[in-house]
Amino acid sequence: MFKYVYINIISMLKHFTTKELIFIALMSALIFIINVVIGSIVISITGIPLSNAFVTGITMGLGVLLIIKIVPKFGSLTLFLLIYSILSIPTSLGGAPGFWPKIPINTISGLLGDLFLLTARYRLWSLFLGFYIITTANISAFLFFLWLLALPAIQKTISIAHWLLLAYWILGTVGILIGMFIWNKLKDKRILLQISQ
């Protein structure tokens, strides 16, 4: 199975230029750094796992919009979330430090997002709808695994799950709108044109 996954990842990477891969990696790292700083503060204040979703929805919406607009290729979202989840393993983002299921959960979420966007031909409305669908699946999967592993304070998280999801939808929408504003300001800049060529 791992050999099959490895072969598919390698074949997917061949569709990207070096500039596109570097851009996706840098965006993943940037969003990670912002989220780990803000998210850690929120979790330390509330003591509730996944409560960083009250804030990080904006950065994820922003990141998704910019990546899809700048590199509108199948696999962009998958790579973004794969790199992001690997970086988040030693942190409290998406569960306790060392919580390895965050890698498959986020990667599968990214793959579903890529399939949805490809089917919708990367139309603007699909970014919003895709974000809501994938966010719901992603947070539900995280809650299930956290409950299954009986992580501390999981009952608190489950009790506010509907608010987390609503916050992520609203904040993700704000993030996408901010991303659209930034994209419209930068889309004709030479550096972005060079990435997408």
Residue-range domains of the chain with CATH = 23-196 (1.10.1760)
What does pLDDT average to over the chain? 83
Give the pLDDT score at 85.
92
**pLDDT band, very low/low/confident/very high, at 27 (cuts 50, 70, 90):** very high
Q: What CA–CA distance (Å, rounded) separates 148 from 145?
A: 5
The token pair at 53 is 């979703």
- Which is more confident, 187 or 12? 187
The CB density around residue 120, as the number of other CB atoms within 10 Å, is: 14
pLDDT over threshold 90, residue 186: no
- 71-87 pLDDT, tens digit per residue, is 999 999 999 999 999 99
Residue the block writes with tokens 């695994």:
145
Give the pLDDT score at 92.
74
- Which is more confident, 124 or 22? 22
Q: What CA–CA distance (Å, rounded) separates 56 from 37?
A: 10
- 127-182 pLDDT, tens digit per residue, is 899 888 888 888 888 888 777 777 666 777 778 788 888 888 999 999 999 999 99
pLDDT over threshold 60, residue 1: no
Give the pLDDT score at 141.
84
pLDDT over threshold 60, residue 4: no
Q: Look up residue 90 and give its DSSP letter.
A: T
Report field, pTM of the whole predicted structure over 0.85:
no
- Which is more confident, 110 or 54? 110
Give the pLDDT score at 7.
54
In the chain, DSSP finds a helix count (H) and a strand count (E) of: 9, 0
> How far is residue 133 from each of residues 51, 109, 127, 140, 165, measured CA to CA in Å?
19, 10, 10, 11, 11
**pLDDT band, very low/low/confident/very high, at 45 (cuts 50, 70, 90):** confident
